[in-house]
Amino acid sequence: MERKSQAKPILFFFVLVSALIETSYAGDIAIYWGQNGNEGTLTDTCATGRYKYVNIGFLNTFGNGATPGLDLAGHCSPASNGCTSLSGEIKSCQNQGIKVMLSLGGAAGSYSLASQEDAKSVADYLWNNFLGGTSSSRPLGDAVLDGIDFDIEAGSGQYWDDLARSLSAYSSQGRKVYLTAAPQCPFPDAHLGTAINTGLFDYVWIQFYNNPQAQCQYASGNTNDILNSWNQWTSINAGSIFLGLPASPEAAGNGYIPSDVLTSQILPTIKSSAKYGGVMLWSKFFDNGYSAAIINS
């Protein structure tokens, strides 16, 4: 009888743990790197041990007949093949289990897609110059990136779904091409809504900042808008959804969430979603302690 009574607390403990596992999901941190020469190297970024995904930004000129152009701010000059030295750094990150993506677009640049054929042409360029294909002019050297990030903030929403399909088709050649996206928090996103609806995106990090008029981000202590918006976004057909945030008040015009507010009032709620993937931060330059403050939460 004594042994039987001891079994009940043990059984209750395992039931409780199982319930917690079922309703709370672990998350990772994604970071953008490449837009400030003072943010440290890619090697140093990955060596922090805080990031699971790194988006190198940006390829901000492409499509519609334009010669593709990579802008990595003060880090290196693609025009003189000066960014091929990043190949070793990319491989170092990948050897630590970190996925490294090339981010397309950004807030400034000259990019658009003119047709389905144009989208296919851009996909071919990306495959041969950054992914598993071959080219004599790979801007980042011989490193094979894990995938492509869509940070489309200009132009129309046309043909990005075709680009996603064309890139995804390359996964059949032996190595998966991960697709990620960084839509704005107004739902659905004007530029990427159609592309995301393809269901091909593995990770979607929503920008919950710089959209005050849309009432979908944190403001003045009010968490309702961002939580309501998050619930809308969990309806999309995607692998994992990330809460995209500025890593400091200076990183965006608005939408910054103090780390203690994030960990106590927001993460406990959104982590109950089966699609919860973690937090995306803009950007490495501005991350002066934010990721360290939230990583254990």
Catalytic residues: 153
CA dist 294 and 263 (Å) reads 7
Where do runs of H (alpha helix) occur along the chain?
2-23, 42-47, 86-95, 116-130, 160-169, 193-196, 224-233, 259-261, 267-270, 290-294
CA dist 276 and 99 (Å) reads 18
Yes or no: say if 277 and 230 are a contact pair by the CB < 8 Å rule.
Answer: no
The two beta strands, 178-181 and 240-246, are unpaired
First to last CA, the chain: 41
Q: Which of 15, 18, 46, 47 shows the shortest CA–CA distance to 33?
A: 46
Query: Which residues sit opposite 148 in a β-bridge?
Result: 102, 179
Q: Which of 223, 203, 201 shows the shortest CA–CA distance to 51?
A: 203
